[in-house]
A and B are shown apart, each in its own frame.
Chain A
Amino acid sequence: MASQKWLEMIQKAEKKCIIEDGKQKVHYQFSPAEEMVEEYNWETGVLIRRAWRKKNTFGGEGQWDVEIGDPETRFLNLNQVGIKESSSAPFVSRRITKTSLEWRIRNLPYPLSVYTVKAEPESKCITVRTTNKKYFKKLAVPDLERAGLLPEQDKIQFTHKHNTLIITYQKPPEVYGLEKKVLQELKKIKPCKEGDMQCNPS
């Protein structure tokens, strides 16, 4: 089962954790080429941030790929990257609350009537379309995938305000259960103290 697989992956990973500013920060090393970090609110146990980093084929260090939380601001020189989306282009940030999975797509100025948000179980994603053909996005739902579920249309709601399209997906009980099991797993790790540094700072 998919949920079992995810739990096993978490259990097997080499984990380190630290508690800082009311957040529990966890680092997972799944394999030499794949790592993940998570930040939980220490009081509520709600996930604030999750990011992945994979090594590319040739072994170079990749960039952090943020799954949940605000995307990292990148101060890359345009002449080094060559091409990047203009700063006014829409971007997605994901959140998880106690009861729902959320997407916020910022920099979308069009009115609410323009958008259609559809669950697409065949391709395991949610699509956002605009009638004016200005924006289109396939949103993957990794949390549902891990619990072995497919997106359902009647769990989706969306609103639009302050140039932002907010999509909420009601959290299924299976996802909730899986999160709880993972949290229990994390309780087992002994957090490093702030003084436990691996090297002496100069």
Chain B
Amino acid sequence: MEYMYIVFVYLQAAAAARVQEVREITRIERIGAHSHIRGLGLDDSLEPRHVSQGMVGQLSARRAAGVILEMIKEGKIAGRAILLAGQPGTGKTAIALGMAQALGIDTPFTSMAGSEIYSLEMSKTEALTQAIRKSIGVRIKEETEIIEGEVVEIQVDRPATGVGTKVGKLTLKTTEMETIYDLGNKMIESLMKEKVQAGDVVTIDKATGKISRLGRSFTRARDYDATGPQTRFVQCPEGELQKRKEVVHTVTLHEVDVINSRTHGFLALFSGDTGEIKAEVREQINAKVAEWREEGKAEIVPGVLFIDEVHMLDIECFSFLNRALENEMAPVVIMATNRGITRIRGTNYKSPHGIPIDLLDRMIIVSTSPYQEKDLKEILKIRCEEEDCEMSDDALTVLTRIALETSLRYAIQLITTASLVCRKRKSTEVNIEDVKRVYSLFLDESRSAQFLKEYQDEFMFNEMEEEPMEVTA
């Protein structure tokens, strides 16, 4: 009897360990502010569906984005600028990210915030140039070394202390041979992300470390577990594991720049700091790329540069952009701002959106408008789903009211906190009481301002200035 019990406990522990492992593999990405966005939510005739792919409402702006998307996909027009203008929390970043998703992974999409260019290591224009060159892809055929085989075993050992580097071994085979490979940390992570397991046929690009799963091996076709209807069966590869293959790569101009700036070498790509790249190197590469294009070896893939909070750029950057957009290699630049008529950074002049008129003149402007109550409810519902939080209908209604009266971002904050409160009282569904509780615990911006007005005398350095302070979102 006791023996049975021990066996039972052992099995339970093993099962628990397995469950934990599975969870770790599936939940690698964290939930970000815009991780529910999967596209622009348009149909084939570019008409926006009301709720689709994580997008809600904002129909005219999304339609406009769809038209721009077509322009980008055609790839003929270089150096256009688009400005997304609208109040805080009206979905400007969401639309830009939706466009990125809709373009797919083969079109370069660089996302940056206007304030990112201010660095002590790099001049502002260099940072902008790098961002621009990161947004232009070159599609070229290249011979690379790939490893192609069927996975026999993946073994990952974590250090006993829980921290430090993992050690991984991957055994691959073809019909003729079998080899054991040592894995680096990044490779272990991407193998887990791809959920590669024994019996899968994979190819690994040795230069880029990109893993693609071709399918499951026919020899495993009789394993009745874990084969969904979409499972594709392929033959175990033949011959040698390592092959040289011509593959079509899309690399960005920036990557080519980095490879060719001798002082850094291509490892700089991985370590992240690249420093300034000489103008001569760039000129050489432009000439080379033009040559490839003429010979028909390469194709230019103009991408998108998205600059969020574009009012944070200063007058020098704006005039640089003016000039950079005229280059035929320029990408499509999408900017977003939540400012009205305000001072252009670096000057004393005021201008709409804090952008000089001459640059504004070169842009097409898409505006977003505040959400309606109905839309807010849909967005909150989508966020609840994204955060794995179940919410009762009346709680959702209350939360929608809150979003309408304060801000959408505040209401989204309350989802997370309310679901934590709900979990503490061991319930699975968030109800009105939870929402009320967190509403009283956490102040929104206007209540906080109200509070400060009432009690400002008791705070330090409380001499209020005469003119009203500019409120940043």
Contact = CB atoms under 8 A, between A and B. Distances in A.
Contacts of B187: 82-83
A92 B175 CA distance: 20
Interface stretch (B41-49, B93-101, B263-271, B353-361): B263-271
A23 interface: no
A83 B183 contact: yes
Interface in A79-112: 79-89
A59 B288 contact: yes
A136 interface: yes
Given A58-B259, A79-B165, A83-B147, A133 B184 contact: no
Given A136-B176, A136-B240, A60 B184 contact: no
A60 B184 CA distance: 23
Contacts of B180: 85-86, 88-89
Nearest to B180: A86
A57 interface: yes
A80 B267 contact: yes
A56 B321 CA distance: 33
B167 to A, nearest CB: 9
B181 A86 contact: yes
Contact of A83 (B175, B177, B204, B251): B204
A133 B175 contact: yes
Interface string A121-143: 00000000110011111100000
Interface in B166-187: 169-170, 173-187
A134 B186 contact: no
B206 interface: yes
B179 A85 contact: yes
A86 B176 CA distance: 18
A185 interface: no
A137 B241 CA distance: 9
A59 B183 contact: no
Contacts of B184: 77-83
Nearest to B249: A57
Interface in A50-78: 56-61, 77-78
Interface string B413-425: 0000000000000
Interface residues of B, number: 38
A136 B239 CA distance: 7
A81 B441 CA distance: 50
A82 B142 contact: no
Contacts of A60: 259-260, 265-266
Interface in B42-72: none
Given A83-B147, A138-B240, A57 B142 contact: yes
A84 B270 CA distance: 17
A82 B209 contact: yes
Contact of B181 (A79, A84, A134, A136): A84
A121 to B, nearest CB: 18
A56 B259 CA distance: 10
B335 interface: no
A135 B165 contact: no
Given A79-B184, A80-B270, A58 B177 contact: no
Given A133-B176, A136-B240, A79 B185 contact: yes
A59 B256 CA distance: 8
A134 B174 CA distance: 9
Given A79-B185, A83-B184, A86-B182, A130 B177 contact: yes
Nearest to A135: B177
B301 interface: no
Given A82-B209, A89-B179, A138 B239 contact: yes
B176 A129 contact: yes
B256 A134 contact: no
A81 B169 CA distance: 14
Nearest to B169: A86
Nearest to B182: A86
B186 A82 contact: yes
B272 to A, nearest CB: 12
Interface in B132-179: 140, 142-143, 147, 165, 169-170, 173-179
A136 B174 CA distance: 9
A80 B208 CA distance: 10
B83 to A, nearest CB: 34
A97 B246 CA distance: 35
A78 B180 CA distance: 14
A165 to B, nearest CB: 14
A54 B181 CA distance: 26
Contacts of B288: 59
12 contacts: A58-B259, A59-B256, A59-B285, A60-B266, A80-B267, A83-B187, A86-B179, A86-B180, A88-B180, A89-B181, A137-B240, A138-B239
Given A58-B142, A134-B177, A135-B176, 10 more contacts: A57-B140, A78-B184, A83-B187, A83-B204, A86-B180, A86-B182, A87-B182, A135-B177, A135-B178, A136-B174
Those 7 A-B pairs whose CB atoms lie nearest each other, nearest first: A136-B176, A136-B177, A60-B259, A82-B209, A79-B184, A82-B187, A86-B180
